[in-house]
Amino acid sequence: MSSSSNSGEFRIKGAGRHTPARTARFTFDGKSYTALEGDTVASALLAHGVHLLGRSFKYHRPRGILTSGPEEPNALLDVSRDAARRQPNVRATVQEVFDGAKIASQNRWPSLKYDIGAFNDMLSPFFAAGFYYKTFMWPREAWHKLYEPIIRRAAGLGEAPKEADPDHYASRYVHCDVLIAGAGVAGLTAALSAAATGKKVILVDEQPEVGGALHFDSSTVIDGQNGFDWAQAMAAKLKAMPNVTVLTRTTVFGYYNHGFLALVERVTDHVALPGRDLPRERLWQVRAKKVVLATGSIERHMVFANNDRPGIMLASAARSFLNHHGVAVGRNVGVYTAHDSAYEAAFDLKRAGVSIAAIVDSRSHPGDGVLAEARALGIDVLTGHAVTDTSGRLRINSITVTRNGGANARKIKVDALLISAGWTPSVHLFSQSRGKLRFDEANQRFLPDIYAQNCISVGACNGTDDLADLIDEAIAAGGGAAVVSGENRFEWTGGMIGAAEGAGPEDAVKAFVDFQHDVTAKDIRLAVREGMHSIEHIKRFTTNGMASDQGKLSNMHGLAIASEMLDRPIPQVGLTTFRAPYTPVTYGTLIAHSRGDLFDPARKTPMHAPEAAEGAEFEDVGNWKRAWYFPKRGEDMHAAVNRECRTVREVGGVFDASTLGKIEVVGPDAAKFLNLLYTNTWDTLKPGKSRYGIMTREDGFIYDDGVVGRLAEDRFHVTTTTGGAPRVLQHMEDYLQTEFPHLNVWLTSTTEQWAVIAVQGPKAREIIAPFIDGLDISNEAFPHMSVAECTIMGVPGRLFRMSFTGELGFEVNVPADFGAAVWKAIWERAQSMGACLYGTETMHVLRAEKGYIIVGQDTDGTVTPDDSGYGWAVSKKKTDFVGIRGLKRPDLVREGRKQLVGLFTKDPKDVLEEGAQIVADPNQPKPMTMLGHVTSSYWSETLGRSIAIALVAGGRAKMGSTLYVPMADRTISVEVTDMVFFDKEGGRING
């Protein structure tokens, strides 16, 4: 480690709270610097006299450090550990220095000092508010080719990393009685008060250590102790209590409904070599019974000509750099203020040996206390004066001072200028909680008024400035007894909002309101002149407050300037709504664990591993991984599927049908209930038999389908489509609970109870026979659509005789934990007999050859049972079922509805594209009248030609006619056919 002597020539001996011996090295734009542990990037660079940190967004003006906190609009940097761990737009005032940090400036080329983009500053008369809206309106064609690409290249601040994020992020739900946002005097006091009552308390602060304003305010004494030291002692006391959690480096970024708050804890961004187990950030999702907002206030800048040069910063920021970091922000510092608090900065610097060029106060009568102290310290105070200009290209070197209303200006040399227009209460979280603000006319600020949640604001964010009052307020908010006493040395008075002297409507100067978006007072006035009268419109026209700092400094100034132009009081102009997040939040935190394997559950069937071992390729069906096809060496998908199709039809195949939804319907009214939920009739179905059922919604359209087996008078085994399982159960529960609650029946999902092995093909019976015990499975005893409970390889199972291939078929159901073993045994025997494994692709082809529909592929929510050729499944006798009335609607019974039919391409080798449109006349002018579209299309190995299913208007009446499928490069002629392409008589299933 290097010695402390080179941690910066602006480091003041004896000032600050960092240990001189504890250093860290970092680079800024390639140059190496030494910092002290605890430094922010801002304080570390200021210690070396570096003020120029970046270029502004629009005009590329040189910019420095304006603040010392999260409200920073200017000093946005690119911070990295390595190529993948790089983050743009990091606030230099928040990022703590760590050993080895690589930091770079942004928005400049070729270098920070010589930036070509600064040309924009000279063209600035053309870049006024609304420039983009107005300039690129015409010619219209130029937008896509010319304007948009150029604007896009110039837009955006910083460069996003291209590598995947190697860090991980944690998340935690937590409940508490009291959440306190902000650990300054008010927050700590409220926490002590609440904690003493035994309540579960969470105290949150965004800084590395508690203290809030005590970081810079060196004059406050609490319980007879220096304020900052008191704060650390109280934090230690709170941390030792079992009912208290203290989270530092943690930001409450969102305050949502019903006491729900989102917090981000930055765990490793300040650490040189973070442990691999540590998450970079942790998302806390808190449900709090009560919220205490102790979020303090933010100092405002003065709005005057050229107020944005490096070296110009908030007075409180200069105090933080001095009192906390031990860094002087200059050697000859000026102050421009409208508030007493800025004097404190001058006093602290003066006592630390820094020369104070002058305090320029826009007010004629500052507080007596500060005037007396300035006099005692020998500091010049110019009351009733304004700073009307500044100079210095890359850093301020002088200010121009003019008496208010006077003409004679004089220049004063400075190397830094501290500014303060007063303090804006941080009501962001209060506003997010949907609380309503009121305007405090006397002090020109918005304060909490009507609360929408169980929440209370205390301290500076509530407009309570006096320390003794603040402490009383915080104790009351915590609900406990008095624990703290303290007093202020000064009364803080004054403050202004809006443009200062010399930046009025007649002055053609750049007086910045919003630094990050380069919005000036002139821009706000222009917006009003262009007809924007609502602050919401002014904001969008000028982009004031729309940068990543969300207008923490600029909103009040913008509002005051608009109010003046409109000649309407501020409350009538309105305040834009504060929204979450309070400060930018990484995607990593919002996503937390939902990435990689935990992005979404990957559902695997009990046979997944042995299927993978047999070389299965899998496809995603919802969250399920389903075996898609089983290629042999050298086979592509097409060859594998053709072989599987052939083998199933000629010998047999084994298929994993476990993912099909299953619902057990149990109770004496089970058949009655199914009668109401399906279009078919169920009370006539005998135990031991099954039936294909169609479920419609109340509107008459197909919702789901599946085979339903009756195991006993009061027990049905219902199957649903794979994707439909959860919604079908929800649909059934809805009707059962709310429309038919008188029925004695209950529903249970059994999808995952059963592993389902479908064995299909001429040899299916022979394959499974040796495994079945206690059941005669001959065609006579166990014909097509039979179901029975039996013993399968010694385990209790259910056997269905059913087919989705058109072949003789069985579906073997065994309890899932036995699935892999039974599958292996069946497959071993099947293989020895020449059968194959087949996947979902082959299943699709085989079922299409038989004209069996797939709900959701061949139907789309506008298809009735009759449209799909399944009109026979709708009972004519029933007096009620879900959909009975919908099916009679005029549009559902009219002639010419789209119906499912088969299509043969004229060239049997042509395989249509699913989704392709169908027309009657391919030569008609565009837009053509479309008759329908292809829903399923495959190469049928069995038929040696392509087959397709399509929805065609009046399709069944068009049998044998020729239609056309226009494609991009050609038109394909098709013939309308029956939907059953293979074994029309259906003899094979009865084998």
Contact set for other proteins, span 761-790 (CB under 8 A): 770-773
Near other proteins in 197-236, by CB under 8 A? 200
Is residue 243 at the binding interface for other proteins, with CB under 8 A as the rule?
A: no
Among the listed residues 25, 350, 537, 646, the single contact to other proteins using CB under 8 A = 537
**Least gap, CB of 85 to other proteins (angstroms):** 19
Among the listed residues 491, 713, 817, 907, the single contact to other proteins using CB under 8 A = 817
Is residue 666 at the binding interface for other proteins, with CB under 8 A as the rule?
A: yes
Among the listed residues 219, 226, 285, 493, the single contact to other proteins using CB under 8 A = 285
Give 406 or 569: the residue with its C-beta nearer to other proteins. 569
Near other proteins in 405-434, by CB under 8 A? 434
User: Segment contacting other proteins (CB under 8 A): 302-310, 320-328, 384-392, 665-673?
Assistant: 665-673
Closest CA to 788 of 820, 819, 811, 807: 811
Is residue 401 at the binding interface for other proteins, with CB under 8 A as the rule?
A: no
Count residues contacting other proteins (CB under 8 A)? 92
User: Segment contacting other proteins (CB under 8 A): 15-23, 128-136, 338-346, 733-741?
Assistant: 733-741
H or E element, residue 611: helix 608-613
* Phi, psi dihedral angles at 246 (to 5 degrees): -110, 120
Among the listed residues 744, 962, 971, 990, the single contact to other proteins using CB under 8 A = 744
Give 485 or 875: the residue with its C-beta nearer to other proteins. 875
Near other proteins in 438-477, by CB under 8 A? 450-452
Q: How far apart are CA 589 and CA 155, in angstroms?
A: 25
**Long-range residue pairs from 28-35, CB within 8 A, at least 24 positions apart, any chain:** 28/77, 28/103, 28/104, 28/105, 29/103, 29/104, 29/105, 29/111, 29/112, 30/104, 33/8, 34/2, 34/6, 34/7, 34/8, 35/7, 35/8, 35/97
Among the listed residues 182, 212, 435, 494, the single contact to other proteins using CB under 8 A = 435
Among the listed residues 17, 533, 672, 958, the single contact to other proteins using CB under 8 A = 533
* Phi, psi dihedral angles at 370 (to 5 degrees): -70, -35
Q: How far apart are CA 28 and CA 46, in angstroms?
A: 12
**Least gap, CB of 256 to other proteins (angstroms):** 6
Beta-carbon count within 10 A of 890 CB: 6
Region of 182 please: left (phi>0), alpha (psi -120 to 50) or beta: left
Is residue 724 at the binding interface for other proteins, with CB under 8 A as the rule?
A: no
Residue 939 is encoded by which pair of tokens?
């190469």
Residue 429 is encoded by which pair of tokens?
């979280």
Near other proteins in 684-723, by CB under 8 A? 698-699
Q: How far apart are CA 89 and CA 865, in angstroms?
A: 58
b/e burial code for range 488-521 (CB count within 10 A of at least 16 → b): beeebbbbbbbbbbbbeeebebbbbbbbbbbbbb
Q: How far apart are CA 452 and CA 257, in angstroms?
A: 9
Near other proteins in 301-360, by CB under 8 A? none
Is residue 259 at the binding interface for other proteins, with CB under 8 A as the rule?
A: yes
**Least gap, CB of 282 to other proteins (angstroms):** 7
Among the listed residues 196, 221, 639, 793, the single contact to other proteins using CB under 8 A = 793
Residue 637, CB half-sphere, CA atoms under 13 Å: how many?
13
Is residue 754 at the binding interface for other proteins, with CB under 8 A as the rule?
A: yes
Is residue 648 at the binding interface for other proteins, with CB under 8 A as the rule?
A: no
Give 664 or 983: the residue with its C-beta nearer to other proteins. 664
Among the listed residues 365, 410, 413, 436, the single contact to other proteins using CB under 8 A = 436
Is residue 540 at the binding interface for other proteins, with CB under 8 A as the rule?
A: no
Closest CA to 628 of 802, 936, 647, 614: 614
Q: Under DSSP, is residue 980 helix (H, G, I), strand (E, B) or coil?
A: coil
Is residue 597 at the binding interface for other proteins, with CB under 8 A as the rule?
A: yes
Near other proteins in 157-196, by CB under 8 A? 168, 170-175
Q: How far apart are CA 669 and CA 379, in angstroms?
A: 94
Among the listed residues 137, 155, 598, 833, the single contact to other proteins using CB under 8 A = 598
Give 440 or 491: the residue with its C-beta nearer to other proteins. 440
**Least gap, CB of 288 to other proteins (angstroms):** 11
Measured between its terminal Cα atoms, the distance across the chain in Å is 86
**Least gap, CB of 250 to other proteins (angstroms):** 14
**Least gap, CB of 268 to other proteins (angstroms):** 11
b/e burial code for range 217-233 (CB count within 10 A of at least 16 → b): bbebebeeeebbebbbe
User: Segment contacting other proteins (CB under 8 A): 133-141, 312-320, 380-388, 603-611?
Assistant: 603-611
What count of residues does the chain have? 991
Give 355 or 623: the residue with its C-beta nearer to other proteins. 623
Q: Under DSSP, is residue 33 helix (H, G, I), strand (E, B) or coil?
A: strand
Segments of 421-532 assigned E as strands = 423-425, 436-440, 445-450, 455-457, 486-487, 512-514, 519-520
Is residue 818 at the binding interface for other proteins, with CB under 8 A as the rule?
A: yes
Secondary structure of 291-314 in HEC code, one letter for each residue:
EEECCCEEECCCECCCCCCCCEEE
Give 412 or 580: the residue with its C-beta nearer to other proteins. 580
Near other proteins in 857-886, by CB under 8 A? 879-880, 884-886
Is residue 582 at the binding interface for other proteins, with CB under 8 A as the rule?
A: no
Is residue 749 at the binding interface for other proteins, with CB under 8 A as the rule?
A: yes
Per DSSP, 601 falls in state: -
**Least gap, CB of 744 to other proteins (angstroms):** 6
Q: Under DSSP, is residue 652 helix (H, G, I), strand (E, B) or coil?
A: coil
Give 287 or 958: the residue with its C-beta nearer to other proteins. 287
Q: How far apart are CA 214 and CA 221, in angstroms?
A: 10
Among the listed residues 605, 842, 868, 936, the single contact to other proteins using CB under 8 A = 605
Is residue 893 at the binding interface for other proteins, with CB under 8 A as the rule?
A: no
Among the listed residues 624, 630, 701, 964, the single contact to other proteins using CB under 8 A = 624
**Least gap, CB of 815 to other proteins (angstroms):** 4
Residue 571, CB half-sphere, CA atoms under 13 Å: how many?
10
Give 143 or 256: the residue with its C-beta nearer to other proteins. 256
**Least gap, CB of 419 to other proteins (angstroms):** 31
**Least gap, CB of 970 to other proteins (angstroms):** 43
Among the listed residues 404, 443, 753, 875, the single contact to other proteins using CB under 8 A = 753
User: Segment contacting other proteins (CB under 8 A): 298-306, 463-471, 510-518, 664-672?
Assistant: 664-672
Is residue 795 at the binding interface for other proteins, with CB under 8 A as the rule?
A: yes
Q: How far apart are CA 427 and CA 447, in angstroms?
A: 7
Give 492 or 541: the residue with its C-beta nearer to other proteins. 541
**Least gap, CB of 434 to other proteins (angstroms):** 5
Residue 724, CB half-sphere, CA atoms under 13 Å: how many?
23
Is residue 604 at the binding interface for other proteins, with CB under 8 A as the rule?
A: yes
Q: How far apart are CA 874 and CA 888, in angstroms?
A: 12
Is residue 593 at the binding interface for other proteins, with CB under 8 A as the rule?
A: yes
Give 874 or 948: the residue with its C-beta nearer to other proteins. 874
Site string for other proteins, 559-578 (x = CB under 8 A): ---------------x--x-
∠ CA 469-472-476, rounded to 5°: 140
Q: Are the CB atoms for 65 and 313 separated by under 8 Å? A: yes
H or E element, residue 587: helix 587-591
Among the listed residues 157, 278, 352, 920, the single contact to other proteins using CB under 8 A = 278
Q: How far apart are CA 691 and CA 714, in angstroms?
A: 16
